[in-house]
Amino acid sequence: MEKREKLIERIVKERGNSAAPKLVDLLFTGDAKTAELASEALERLNSCSEIIKRVEKEIELGRHNVGIFYAADLLGNLRCSRSVKTLYKILGIVNEEKEAVVVYGALLKLGIKEAEKYLLYEFEEDPYMKKFLIDIGIALETSDNPEVFKAIVEKTRENPELIEVIQAMCTRTPSFLRMLPEEFKERIRC
């Protein structure tokens, strides 16, 4: 991990924003490890414009590839408010529910409450989505809604791996600690 961190730091320091176009290309043409590395470097460079431009081009050309979803997640992480329109365009090309979860998660990071409603419905109600429960929980992690927190706590009883989502939510919104059932308090570090 240290090697990876040094590489990202070197790219950002030595190349700066001039590296953004090549890093965006790697989101779309690299393997998963390369795309993740590029994503981390782009996050540090805060390259919203380059990412949006490439996604728009991919959609215009009728392409559907994993790079679009790496880009969607990254736009959410960067809190690129000008990407909302692009994210809705991506929703128009999703082929699988898991792709929709990524895009709705990005929209939620941008404060779009309808994204939260969609994700919460899928999390609580849709039996087909059980296999994506962890992904949906992670997408809901940025929510500050107590009802979302309660739903995640409830599902954690059946899916203990969701404890990390609870941890992240309590760290982000400390008032959630008061809502935490005793059975989980010893497992949460704050």
Please report, in tens digits, the pLDDT of each residue of the chain (190 residues total): 577 667 667 776 777 677 788 889 988 886 888 888 888 888 888 889 999 999 999 999 999 999 999 999 999 999 999 999 999 999 999 999 999 999 999 999 999 999 999 999 999 988 888 889 999 999 999 999 999 999 999 999 999 999 999 999 999 999 999 999 988 888 887 6
Sequence letter at residue 46: N
CA distances, 108 to each of 72, 89, 103, 120 (Å): 12, 15, 9, 11
pTM summary value: 0.89
Residue 75 to residue 39: CA distance in whole angstroms: 10
The reported pLDDT for the residue numbered 7 is 66
Residues 6+ apart with CB under 8 A from 151: 120, 123, 124
The reported pLDDT for the residue numbered 9 is 72
Longest CA pairwise span in the chain (Å): 53
Which tokens hold the place of 39? 């994503």
The reported pLDDT for the residue numbered 110 is 97
The reported pLDDT for the residue numbered 52 is 96
Residue 62 to residue 51: CA distance in whole angstroms: 17
The reported pLDDT for the residue numbered 190 is 63
What are residue 126's phi and psi, to 5 degrees?
-85, 110
Half-sphere exposure of 91 (CA within 13 A, CB side): 14
Q: What is the DSSP letter of 110?
A: T
Q: Where are the domains of the chain?
A: 1-93, 112-190
Residue 42 to residue 93: CA distance in whole angstroms: 24
